[in-house]
Chain A
Amino acid sequence: MHELSLATALVDATLSEARKHGAGRIDTVRCRIGRLRQVDDQLLRDAFEIAAAGTIAAGAALDVSYTGIRIDCHACGVGTDVESWRFDCPRCGESRVSLTGGDELELTSIDVEVDDENRCSQQESGRKERQSRS
Chain B
Amino acid sequence: MRIDVLNKSLVAKNDKAAAENRALFQQRGIAVVNIMGGAGSGKTTLLECTIPQLARDTRVAVLEGDLATTRDAERIAALNVPVVQLLTEGGCHLTAALVQQGVQRLPTSELDLILIENVGNPICPVNFDLGERARLAVLSVAEGDDKPAKYPYLFTVADLVVISKHDLLDVSGFDFDAAAADIHALDSGKRIISTSSRDAASTQPVADWFRSLCQRCSDTLPPHQAGM
The 7 closest A-B pairs by CB, nearest first: A2-B124, A95-B188, A85-B152, A9-B10, A106-B7, A105-B10, A86-B185
Which residues of chain B from 159 to 206 have any CB-CB distance to chain A below 8 Å in the complex? 184-189
In angstroms, how far is the closest chain A Cβ from the Cβ of B94?
Answer: 11
Q: For the complex, what is the distance from the CA of A88 to the CA of B8, rounded to whole Å?
A: 31
If A9-B13, A31-B10, A112-B3 touch, whether A87 touches B187 (CB-CB below 8 Å) is yes
* Residue interface bits A99-115, CB-to-B below 8 A is 1, else 0: 10000111111111110
In angstroms, how far is the closest chain B Cβ from the Cβ of A73?
Answer: 13
Given contacts A38-B151, A85-B186, A96-B189, 17 further A-B contacts (CB under 8 A): A1-B92, A2-B124, A5-B92, A5-B128, A21-B1, A85-B152, A86-B186, A87-B186, A96-B188, A99-B156, A105-B10, A106-B9, A107-B7, A108-B4, A109-B4, A111-B3, A112-B3
For the residues of A in contact with B, the DSSP-based class is mixed
* Residue interface bits A1-21, CB-to-B below 8 A is 1, else 0: 110011001100100011001
Question: A104 — which chain B residues lie within 8 A by C-beta?
Answer: 7
> Is B2 at the interface (CB under 8 A from chain A)?
yes
* Residue interface bits B131-159, CB-to-A below 8 A is 1, else 0: 00000000000000000010111001000
Pair B1/A112 contact, Cβ less than 8 Å: yes
Question: A108 — which chain B residues lie within 8 A by C-beta?
Answer: 4-5, 7
Q: Which of A37, A95, A107 contacts B189 (CB 8 A)?
A: A95
* Residue interface bits B1-30, CB-to-A below 8 A is 1, else 0: 111110111111100000000000000000
> Is B127 at the interface (CB under 8 A from chain A)?
yes
Q: For the complex, what is the distance from the CA of A99 to the CA of B155, rounded to whole Å?
A: 13
Pair B123/A109 contact, Cβ less than 8 Å: no
Question: A21 — which chain B residues lie within 8 A by C-beta?
Answer: 1, 3
Pair B5/A2 contact, Cβ less than 8 Å: no
> Is A45 at the interface (CB under 8 A from chain B)?
no
Q: For the complex, what is the distance from the CA of A2 to the CA of B9, rounded to whole Å?
A: 15
Pair A2/B3 contact, Cβ less than 8 Å: no
Question: B185 — which chain A residues lie within 8 A by C-beta?
Answer: 85-88
Which residues of chain B from 42 to 88 have any CB-CB distance to chain A below 8 Å in the complex? none
Question: B12 — which chain A residues lie within 8 A by C-beta?
Answer: 13
Pair A105/B127 contact, Cβ less than 8 Å: yes
Pair B127/A13 contact, Cβ less than 8 Å: no
Q: Which of A1, A85, A95, A110 contacts B5 (CB 8 A)?
A: A110
Pair A13/B152 contact, Cβ less than 8 Å: no
Pair B153/A107 contact, Cβ less than 8 Å: no
> Is A58 at the interface (CB under 8 A from chain B)?
no
Q: For the complex, what is the distance from the CA of A58 to the CA of B208, rounded to whole Å?
A: 52
In angstroms, how far is the closest chain B Cβ from the Cβ of A16?
Answer: 9
Question: B1 — which chain A residues lie within 8 A by C-beta?
Answer: 21, 23, 111-114
If A5-B91, A37-B127, A105-B127 touch, whether A110 touches B9 (CB-CB below 8 Å) is no
Pair B127/A2 contact, Cβ less than 8 Å: yes
Pair A110/B127 contact, Cβ less than 8 Å: no
Question: B4 — which chain A residues lie within 8 A by C-beta?
Answer: 108-109
Pair B10/A10 contact, Cβ less than 8 Å: yes
User: Which of A5, A9, A112: most chain B Cβ within 10 A?
Assistant: A5
Q: Which of A1, A5, A32, A112 contacts B7 (CB 8 A)?
A: A32
> Is A56 at the interface (CB under 8 A from chain B)?
no
User: Which of B1, B10, B13, B186: most chain A Cβ within 10 A?
Assistant: B10
Q: For the complex, what is the distance from the CA of A110 to the CA of B156, rounded to whole Å?
A: 32
